[in-house]
């Protein structure tokens, strides 16, 4: 009987250190807000050099598990929906920059997502959350003429609708999608005259939410996002 080859792969020292430190965090030995042991302590504990410790720490930071500050010990981060999804930022932007098809897929996903979110917002709306959304819209109206501020508050308006659901994962996904689309969304909003159209559409969405009209809110949101999508397609062909 011939046994299949099963080569033993030797791990890098930093990979082994990473695995052990990650276990300390996952097991609860180290909790959110705790300082990580010093480099000197870890070197003595694991019998490895400083480069292996630093490489492992950088890997933990890259996974969003710890925060490294100059001159201070690394600290264990509290994992949230937002911090978790934020780890996808760079790969997502690289993917979008290299594929127009993926950008279209993202726009479709955003419409699918936001039509559901606005229904949730209308269903769960309270006087307080409606007042918060009204304040965002008022600030956006006041920012006319300041393109950067207008766009920032535009994103805040949509994000606030997602937060009205009370589900932090919805809010995190909304923030991520809006961030990924920002560089493409910007040129639409600063077209002359389009800002007032955006404000009018936002007003219609807000009124439907305030009336607890889920159907009307969904229709208003779809019309708003489809218009923006059509304008982008027109601009791309010109």
Domain boundary among 55, 79, 103: 79
**Residues 6 or more apart in contact with residue 22 via CB below 8 angstroms:** 60, 63, 65
pLDDT, tens only, 156-186: 999 999 999 999 899 999 988 888 887 665 5
- Whether residue 110 is found in the same domain as residue 169: yes
The answer to whether residues 228 and 185 touch, using CB atoms and an 8 Å cutoff, is yes
- Whether residue 67 is found in the same domain as residue 37: yes
- Residue 213 burial (10 A CB sphere; 0-12, 13-18, 19+): middle
Token pair 């996904």: residue: 173
Range(s) of the domain holding residue 54: 13-79
Could you tell me if residue 5 is inside a domain?
Answer: no
- Whether residue 42 is found in the same domain as residue 138: no
The answer to whether residues 78 and 181 touch, using CB atoms and an 8 Å cutoff, is no
The answer to whether residues 171 and 163 touch, using CB atoms and an 8 Å cutoff, is yes
- Whether residue 44 is found in the same domain as residue 129: no
**Residues 6 or more apart in contact with residue 212 via CB below 8 angstroms:** 122, 123, 125
- Whether residue 194 is found in the same domain as residue 219: yes
- Whether residue 184 is found in the same domain as residue 202: yes
Q: Give the pLDDT band (50/70/90) at residue 35.
A: very high
Across the chain, mean pLDDT equals 85
Among 46-50, 101-105, 108-112, 215-219, name the most confident range: 215-219
- Predicted TM-score (pTM) of the model is 0.69
Q: Distance between CA atoms of 87 and 114, rounded to whole angstroms?
A: 22
- pLDDT score of 86 more than 60: yes
Lowest mean pLDDT among 79-83, 114-118, 124-128, 134-138: 79-83
Domain boundary among 47, 79, 111: 79
- Give the per-residue pLDDT at 235: 47
Region 48-74: mean pLDDT is 88
**Residues 6 or more apart in contact with residue 161 via CB below 8 angstroms:** 114, 117, 118, 121, 133, 174, 205, 209
Q: Distance between CA atoms of 80 and 176, rounded to whole angstroms?
A: 13
């Amino acid at each position: 009987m011939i046994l299949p080859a099963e080569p033993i792969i030797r791990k890098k020292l930093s990979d082994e250190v990473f695995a052990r430190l990650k276990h300390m965090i996952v097991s609860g030995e180290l909790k959110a807000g705790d300082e990580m042991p010093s480099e000197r302590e870890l070197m003595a504990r694991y019998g490895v050099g400083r480069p292996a410790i630093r490489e492992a720490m950088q890997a933990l930071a890259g996974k969003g598990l710890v925060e490294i500050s100059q001159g201070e010990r690394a600290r264990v981060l509290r994992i949230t929906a937002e911090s978790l999804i934020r780890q996808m930022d760079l790969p997502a932007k690289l993917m979008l920059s290299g594929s127009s098809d993926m950008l279209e897929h993202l726009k479709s996903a955003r419409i699918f997502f936001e039509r559901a979110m606005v229904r949730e917002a209308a269903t769960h709306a309270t006087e307080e959350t409606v007042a918060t959304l009204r304040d965002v819209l008022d600030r956006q109206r006041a920012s006319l003429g300041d393109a950067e501020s207008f766009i920032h508050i535009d994103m805040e308006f949509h994000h606030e609708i997602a937060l009205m659901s009370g589900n932090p994962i919805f809010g995190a996904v909304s923030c991520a999608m809006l961030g990924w689309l920002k560089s493409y969304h910007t040129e639409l909003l600063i077209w002359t005259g389009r800002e007032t159209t955006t404000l009018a559409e936002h007003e219609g969405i807000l009124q439907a939410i305030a009336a607890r009209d889920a159907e009307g809110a969904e229709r208003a949101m779809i019309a708003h996002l489809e218009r923006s999508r059509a304008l982008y397609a027109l601009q791309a062909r010109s």
